[in-house]
Amino acid sequence: MAVLSEEQSMLRDAAKSWVQEKSPVTAFRKMRDSGAELGYDANAWNEMAEMGWAGVIIPEEYGGSNFGYLSLGLILEELGRTLTASPLLASGLAAASALILGGSEAQKSTWLPKIAEGTAVGALAIDEGAHHAPEKATAVVAGGKLTGKKTFVLEGMAADILIVSAKGPDGLGLFLVRSDDPGVARTRLHLADSRGAANIEFKNAQAEALSGGAELIEKVLDRARAGVAAEMLGSAVQAFETTLDYLKVRVQFGQVIGSFQALQHRAAKMFTDLELSRSAVEAALAAIDADSPDVPELVSLAKAKMGDTFHLVSNEMVQMHGGIGMTDAHDAGFYLKRARAAEAAFGNQAFHRDRYARIQGY
């Protein structure tokens, strides 16, 4: 893992401890079994907010700690290990980024402190179909009112504010809509990975423009993508470690199955891919913190690479556990389901491979 500053090490260690003590995978299972409306445990979210996690990328003048995206990525990675559900990515990363990069002073001072405290939740509403296609947004804003349909809005049911992509008088841009506006109708989606999401229909909902147009959308999306990739890294690493532990204890044919070379080599392949993916994810987060012009290509690299790796590891977790990997009682199914949802979020591997090439001119 990257060489960390003292602050970053402390943040990561704090996240590790909290996750181990307060949010093991059993907490996710409990949330799922309770049919949680929100898609996360509100008490757990309060604890995270109290530790300052929702304000990690928010400037201090708005109540945040301004530690940056790599720091937030370290926290997201730890949460990803145990599939901990929360609006941290949607709100503390994505919505906050939109406001920081494109919000007016009034929008920032109204919403960022609440987002940092965890008392308001923001969510990004970009896609309108089954596949990520941000440039194809057809929602419209006319006379300050937004009309259109958005799909697969992560944490859409929990959100107090929605950051919506739509075509305004100046072209494509992001708009802030309050979810309690009478023109907003939300339908809860019951996803395979039990996380919160909604389809949302807007009819003349009051919309405040953020400035930055289509460029702002890409910048915010790249930050969201990097955040998802960081969470995926944690989930994939944990899925691998759990599987590795199983290889060391399960006995068949008079020996531990981890002594069979075919399984050893498959484990070595996963380890290799995880190390490569870690490099790509950390490089993308560092580039965002440095505001590098390479952010788009490094983010697409990270999302594509991480997606392929988590895809492989999630499949191998089920397969290598044999029959018990197929039971709901085992955690393997959770990691498999989360993997596909995370792969699809903000552009899957194919989307990002294509984007990587387009950015480089081929």
Partner 1 sequence: MADFGGADLDAFRTEARDWIAANFPAGLKGRPNPMMREERTAPSADQEAWRLAMGEKGWGAPTWPAAYGGGGLSGGEARIIQQELNKAGAYNPIGGMGVMMFGPTLLEYGTEAQKQEHIPAIVRGDVQWCQGFSEPGAGSDLASLQTKAEDKGDHFLINGQKIWTSGAQFADWCFCLVRTDTSKKHEGISFVLFTMHQPGVEVRPIKLISGNSPFCETFFTDAVAKKSDLVGPLNGGWTIAKRLLQHERSGLSGAGGGGGFFGMQKPLETLAKEYVGVDDKGRISDADLRTRIIQNLIDTRAFQQTAVRAMMEAKGNSGPSAATSIMKNAGTRVMQDRAELTLEIMGSQGLGWEGEGFTGDEIAAVRGWLGGKATTIYGGSQEIQSNIISKRILGLPDLTNNH
Question: Minimum distance from CB of 290 to partner 1 (Å)?
Answer: 14
Binder of partner 1 out of 304, 312, 317, 320 (CB under 8 A) = 304
Question: Minimum distance from CB of 331 to partner 1 (Å)?
Answer: 20
Which of residues 51 and 276 has its CB atom nearest to partner 1 in the complex?
276
Is the CB of residue 25 less than 8 Å from the CB of residue 302? no
Question: Minimum distance from CB of 72 to partner 1 (Å)?
Answer: 19
Residue 133, helix vs strand vs coil: coil
Which of residues 30 and 265 has its CB atom nearest to partner 1 in the complex?
265
**Dist. CA 278–CA 234, nearest whole Å:** 9
Q: Does 353 bind partner 1 (CB under 8 A)?
A: yes
Closest CA to 243 of 266, 262, 273, 275: 266
**Dist. CA 185–CA 182, nearest whole Å:** 8
Question: Residues with Cβ < 8 Å from 337, sequence gap 6 or more?
Answer: 192, 193, 194
Question: Minimum distance from CB of 277 to partner 1 (Å)?
Answer: 7
Q: Does 247 bind partner 1 (CB under 8 A)?
A: yes
How many other CB atoms are there within 10 angstroms of residue 137's CB atom? Answer: 21
How many other CB atoms are there within 10 angstroms of residue 58's CB atom? Answer: 25
| Region from 49-57, 91-99, 184-192, 301-309 binding partner 1, contact rule CB under 8 A | 301-309
Q: Does 244 bind partner 1 (CB under 8 A)?
A: yes
Question: Minimum distance from CB of 241 to partner 1 (Å)?
Answer: 10
Angle, helix 349-360 to helix 295-320, in steps of 10 degrees = 150
Q: Does 9 bind partner 1 (CB under 8 A)?
A: no
The one-character DSSP state at 210 is P
Which of residues 54 and 306 has its CB atom nearest to partner 1 in the complex?
306
Is the CB of residue 310 less than 8 Å from the CB of residue 236? yes
**x/- contact string, 249-288, with partner 1 (CB under 8 A)?**
------xx-xx-x-xxx-xxx-xx--xxxxxx-xx-----
Q: Does 143 bind partner 1 (CB under 8 A)?
A: no
CA 233 and chain centroid, separation: 11
Question: Minimum distance from CB of 262 to partner 1 (Å)?
Answer: 10
Which of residues 72 and 304 has its CB atom nearest to partner 1 in the complex?
304
Is the CB of residue 115 less than 8 Å from the CB of residue 58? yes
Q: Does 301 bind partner 1 (CB under 8 A)?
A: yes
With contacts defined by CB under 8 A, how many residues of the chain interact with partner 1? 39
Is the CB of residue 103 less than 8 Å from the CB of residue 131? no
Cα-trace Rg, the chain: 20
Question: Minimum distance from CB of 94 to partner 1 (Å)?
Answer: 24
Residues of this chain that interact with partner 1 (CB under 8 A) are: 1-3, 244, 247-248, 255-256, 258-259, 261, 263-265, 267-269, 271-272, 275-280, 282-283, 301, 304-305, 350, 353-354, 356-358, 360-362
